[in-house]
Amino acid sequence: MSKAAVVGAVVIIGIGVVGGGGYYYASNKAEQELTNAIQLAENSMPGSSIKYESHSVSPFSQSATLHKVIFKDGKGQEYTADTVIIGGVSADKVGDISVDKFHTAFEGGTIDIAHVDAKNIAVGAGAIVIENGKITQVFPSKVSFDLLNIQNFSAIGPDKTGITVGQYELKNYGLKQNSNQVLKQLELKASADGQEFLKLDQAQIDGLNVAEIAAQIEQKQSPKTLPGQPAKATLEGLSANLAGQTWSLAKFETENSVAASGDLKSSGVFSGFKIGTAHNIRLYPLAQIGYDQIDASGNISATYDKAKQQWAFTPFSLTIKDMGSLNADLKFNAPEDISTVNPQELLASYKLIALKVVLHDQGLFQKIFESAAKKQSQSSSDATANKTVTADQVKQQMIATIKEDAQNSTTTVEKQGDEAILDLINNPTKSLVIEVNPATPVTAMELMGKSQSDIFNALQLKVTTQDAK
């Protein structure tokens, strides 16, 4: 045998012995670490147990795979999974977790998840509080991860009520991170026949610090609005069935931002908001004049000037199909966070600066005339004459009534209002304009106890008409 061949054989044998021995050593160590980890978990949760049919470990990828896992908590509740894969475990990290076919049963109901992925999980200091070897508290806000992906989740009770979700995905979770979320195919079922109570095709929320909200809840605080968040949000295909009444929203989109100065800017657009009038006591008057459904769309833009503590909602627009449109400009002094407003603060602290509302008729007046004409025809005492009242006749009656009111009005605003309504009836293309411009910003509390005339004067209320734009 040549010297080269001998050297080659020695190298091959050496690799086999050292490499093989290293592998078996690492493998055995990984097996022991898995056993230790399971024991630690069971000891940290008194009365719990973790069992599985088979497993495999990989010392190189630092992962363990468990098959047919059964976990029982201290109260005897059982949770099962076909497969659990855990990788990249270290002192302060879990690394990655993957779970297939999770299942548990409770009081005749079930919770099932087809698949769960969690990537790059880091457990921050204080996230898990262990006292005397037992887990006493868990703070989710102090955990971070790159991805949580849940597919085909369902929680169904014995009466078929419950919730199903096609997919939920949360990216970039952590106290110093703005997360992105996606929710698809949500259904809430609230009847024994499994009928949907609420349904959502998709929602996406980008740029929201979810961990900060979790921290507020952990501190037993009501979640507060985070300035400029979420950066963007979209909701599509929302519908609900409440007491036999169905309402739906085709789409809603919002964008929010915060400047270096602290100024805020938000905008929102929605379309296809539909609600039936038949089973809604507040909308019943509309049902009586011929509206079976409200079909609305609109948008809003809000800005906050931090230095002035001033909010401006400009423009705000709302359009209801076959009824009319409303456009408004509103300015008032208020704190930055108006999400936690209470009635007392609203009355005493929020100061109205200016308000302008423009109303444009797109069929409402005609519906009113036609409905009144129908009622008058049906209630006619001269049944033999078969008297029919027309919409135009009702219109002329209303004009005469409003003219009389205008002549008897006791305030300038009342007279302006009557004259404006007359102008709208006679000129359907015009719009009604209501303006409030107090000399100085005013609170609702400052107006309490004043006469109607004094309130109108303090607000500098004016009612006019203008050509539609």
- pLDDT tens for 139-157 read 889 999 999 999 999 999 8
Question: Which amino acid would we find at residue 31?
Answer: E
Confidence at residue 196, expressed as pLDDT on a 0 to 100 scale:
60
Please list, in sequence order, all residues whose beta carbon lies within 8 angstroms of the beta carbon of residue 17, skipping any fewer than 6 positions away. none
CB distance 67 to 53 below 8 Å:
yes
Please list, in sequence order, all residues whose beta carbon lies within 8 angstroms of the beta carbon of residue 105, skipping any fewer than 6 positions away. 78, 111
pTM of the predicted model, to two decimals?
0.83
Q: Does residue 4 carry a pLDDT above 50?
A: no
Confidence category of residue 466, pLDDT binned at 50, 70, 90: very high
Q: Does residue 45 carry a pLDDT above 60?
A: yes
- pLDDT tens for 314-369 read 889 999 999 999 999 999 998 888 776 677 777 888 999 999 999 999 999 999 99
Q: In whole angstroms, what is the distance from residue 33 CA to residue 232 CA?
A: 44
Share of the chain above pLDDT 70, in %: 87
Confidence at residue 341, expressed as pLDDT on a 0 to 100 scale:
67
DSSP 160-187: S-EEEEEEEEEEEESTT--EEEEEEEEE
- pLDDT tens for 366-406 read 999 999 898 888 776 554 456 788 999 999 999 999 999 98
Q: Between 281 and 112, where is the model more confident? A: 112
- pLDDT tens for 243-267 read 677 899 999 999 999 999 999 999 9
Q: Does residue 74 carry a pLDDT above 70?
A: yes
In the chain, where the domains are located = 1-158, 314-468
Residue labelled with tokens 């989710």: 140
Q: Mean pLDDT across the chain, nearest whole number?
A: 86
